[in-house]
Amino acid sequence: MGNILIFSGTTEGRELAEVLDRNSIDCHVCVATEYGSLVMTELPHVKIHEGRLDCKQMQKLYKKEKISVIVDATHPYASIVTSTIQESVEDTDITYLRLLRPNTDVEMTNPEGVSYYASAEECANALRKTEGNIFLTTGSKDLKMYCQDSSLRERLVVRVLPGLESLQLCYENGLEGKQIIAMQGPFSKEMNLSLMQEYSIRHMVTKESGHTGGVESKISAAKESNVKTHIIRRPESNCEEALSMQEVCTRLEELLGVTLERGSLQITLAGIGCGTAESMTSEVRRAIEKADYLFGAPRMLETCACKGQEYPYYLKEDILPVLEEIQRNHCGEAQVVILFSGDSGFYSGTSKMRDALNEKFPDVSLQVLPGVSSIQMLSARIGIPWQDAKILSFHGVSEDRWIPQFLDAIRYEKKTFFLTSGLEDFQKMAECMRTLDFAGQIHFYLGYALSYEEEQVYEFSTDQSIELAKELESLKKDGLYVGAMVQDAPYRRPLAPELKDEDFLRDQVPITKEEVRKLVISQLELAADSVVYDIGAGTGSIAIQAAMMSPDISVYAVDCKDSAVDLIQRNLSHFNIRNVHLRKTCAPRGFQDFPAADCAFIGGNKGQLIDILCELQWINPNMRIVMTAVSMESIVEMQNVLKLFSVTDVSVTQVSVSKVKELGAYHMLQANNPVFIFAFRFCKKK
């Protein structure tokens, strides 16, 4: 078949020509002005025709170049040109396709502060009744409507294309040089905002020209500057079937009998640092400036200047559907940037987003750009390196997880940097520090709004933490805080159970003896993030010792006696333990409220051993169980358990402990009752 002709002068026309050239398909492109030629990239399969054509001239061109398909990609407001093109193909075999850019639903995105008009003339009449400077962004074609009245003309600041024809029309309509901004778009929100502020704009006029025309960024800037927006509605299309870019490509595939390689997504996941543009890397700034589509939390978008469309989304559930839509409607290469605070590899959502993108778009080009984290920023501010520090993040973490980590760091770490969710986290830290016994001096640093104008870095001691928390609350300084603590002599971290019997508050409640306790802890086979049940917890000695092995271990202790529960609570306060969760209940009741355990210690069962084990096996069919027995009845019952349940990795140990006691001038052995330790793991029946 013959050649393809694109009537262009728009972004869509240029993009379609690039798609055809990429697929080695020859085409012709008509543009009205010299400027239209200049903005077209020189492509080997594209021939450009410059100049305005009437109907007969169009038909002459069709015949000369043997045109069989015409794509009308002219501007949505160029209704006269579209009518002429349609007239030129009447009574011919030429296929006519109208490529029309999608509109933007401004009324949905910004219902307030916007007025609509059917024509430029109607808009100009309305503006005569207003006061203040007017930012006219509708091009040079309709300047005459706004310049007939001298009082209205004097208030105009017009933005037009930097072509001779546009500038000539400005001068012909009586505009002075200071009123003319000759620039090629698209324009970011920040650029529009800057121009509105520079020229003291009170009113902004735009067309309903869709995302490509930059409507969203103009309206967003106007709203922020308290500028009244005036929109000239898009004329009704006189084409029965207006097509999107993707639909035009599909029709061309059908007509040409080929499969076109269409546009592609180039996605960048970018860490933007602490927040200000100055704290971004040059690589990230360049990626943002080139972005066709920019995603991020609203506070991030306020910082980042982008030529393309902005979406205030940061969750994959919101972003993925939009990317699917972009992939359907965007031909050519779409540059997509998704913003993340701080560094992309440091407690960031980048990893989950990358996994989601790889799953949804396996063939998409994806890159990750790092940023400066707030930890690095604080380290630089206080002059303390972070390379050998413990790094913790409490941001978005529940208290029962982060407070044990914080207390563990105070006990054992010489240097710790940490992220918080806000002032409330720091207030809780201050409360914790009031009850702690420190091995040495601790210096604290707290960074607020790092890199912003309101940035503050506070240095204080543990004694000053409560007062500082109150001061920050009174100043209403909520927001994200990053902190550091440095101490000269932390406790040495033990690598084995360390607590002695005399360390515990005892009263009259029986305690699992120190030597047996150490063996039980060993048999539980704890991991750093284990969930442990302590059933019949007594003094809480097993629960507390297990909890102290790692701040990430969670222990759930139960006992049915009031005296035992009271004593356990006092021991938890005594040792400042926050990762033991205490419940007064009689097992097996209450387990359904706990997360599934990896292991359980049964120190007392009140005759409910079989029921308890059945419940534990249901919770986790692979759970590790450790039990102790002193009486013959308990020993026999536990021996029967090994027959009733399907178990593996069985260990039965009898422990006899004798300690030396001084009796006058002699040292005598004093024996304790023998203790049997039963340990096993549930397994599937063979």
- Whether the CB-CB separation of 306 and 291 falls below 8 Å is answered with yes
CATH 3.40.50.150 domain locations along the chain: 501-682
Give residue 440's pLDDT band: very low, low, confident or very high (50, 70, 90).
low
Helices marked H in 476-550 — which ranges? 514-524, 541-549
**73: which residues sit within 8 A by CB, 6+ positions away?**
6, 7, 8, 9, 10, 12, 13, 16, 99
Residue 18 has phi, psi (to 5 degrees) of: -65, -40
Residue whose structure tokens are 């091995």: 439
Helices marked H in 111-244 — which ranges? 120-127, 143-147, 150-153, 164-172, 189-198, 215-224
Level-2 CATH architecture, domain 501-682: 3-Layer(aba) Sandwich (3.40)
pLDDT digits (tens, 9 = 90+) for 286-327: 899 889 899 998 888 888 877 778 899 999 999 999 998 887
Mean pLDDT along residues 635-646: 93
Residue 105's pLDDT is 52
Residue 23's pLDDT is 86
Give residue 112's pLDDT band: very low, low, confident or very high (50, 70, 90).
low
Other beta carbons within 10 Å of 645: 17
Residue 108's pLDDT is 42
Residue 110's pLDDT is 47
Token pair belonging to 683: 């397994």
Residue 283's pLDDT is 93
Residue 252 has phi, psi (to 5 degrees) of: -65, -35
Is residue 372 predicted with pLDDT exceeding 80? yes
Token pair belonging to 413: 């770490």
pLDDT digits (tens, 9 = 90+) for 491-542: 889 988 989 999 999 887 888 889 999 999 999 999 999 999 999 999 999 9
pLDDT digits (tens, 9 = 90+) for 584-624: 999 999 898 899 999 999 998 988 999 999 999 999 999 99
Residue 237's pLDDT is 58
Level-2 CATH architecture, domain 3-101+238-256: 3-Layer(aba) Sandwich (3.40)
> What radius of gyration, in Å, describes the C-alpha atoms of the chain?
37
Q: Which CATH class is domain 375-487?
A: alpha beta
Give residue 107's pLDDT band: very low, low, confident or very high (50, 70, 90).
very low
Residue 213's pLDDT is 61
Q: Does 106-232 carry CATH code 3.40.50.1980?
A: yes
Angle at alpha carbon of residue 74, lines to 71 and 75, rounded to 5°: 150
Taken in order 31, 33, 37, 40, the sign of the CA dihedral is negative
CATH 3.40.1010.10 domain locations along the chain: 264-372
How many Å apart are CA 451 and CA 274, to the nearest integer? 6
CATH 3.40.50.720 domain locations along the chain: 3-101+238-256
The residue ranking higher by pLDDT, 475 or 638, is 638
Mean pLDDT along residues 55-74: 90
Give residue 109's pLDDT band: very low, low, confident or very high (50, 70, 90).
very low
Residue 224's pLDDT is 86
**pTM of the full structure:** 0.64
For the chain, the distance separating the N- and C-terminal CA atoms, rounded to the nearest angstrom, is 73
Residue 152's pLDDT is 92
CATH 3.40.50.1980 domain locations along the chain: 106-232
pLDDT digits (tens, 9 = 90+) for 571-591: 999 999 999 999 999 999 989
Query: Quick one: 90 exposed, middle or buried, by C-beta within 10 A (0-12, 13-18, 19+)?
Result: exposed
Angle at alpha carbon of residue 500, lines to 496 and 504, rounded to 5°: 125
pLDDT digits (tens, 9 = 90+) for 413-433: 999 999 998 888 888 888 888
Question: pLDDT above 70 covers what percent of the chain?
Answer: 95
Please give the mean pLDDT across all residues of the chain.
88
Mean pLDDT along residues 155-178: 91
pLDDT digits (tens, 9 = 90+) for 235-257: 765 555 778 887 888 888 888 88
Give residue 263's pLDDT band: very low, low, confident or very high (50, 70, 90).
low
Residue 269's pLDDT is 97
Token pair belonging to 288: 């943002």
Pick the CATH number of 264-372 from 3.40.50.1370, 3.40.50.1100, 3.40.1010.10, 3.40.640.10: 3.40.1010.10
Token pair belonging to 535: 């059933």
The least confident of 48-62, 91-105, 294-308 is 91-105
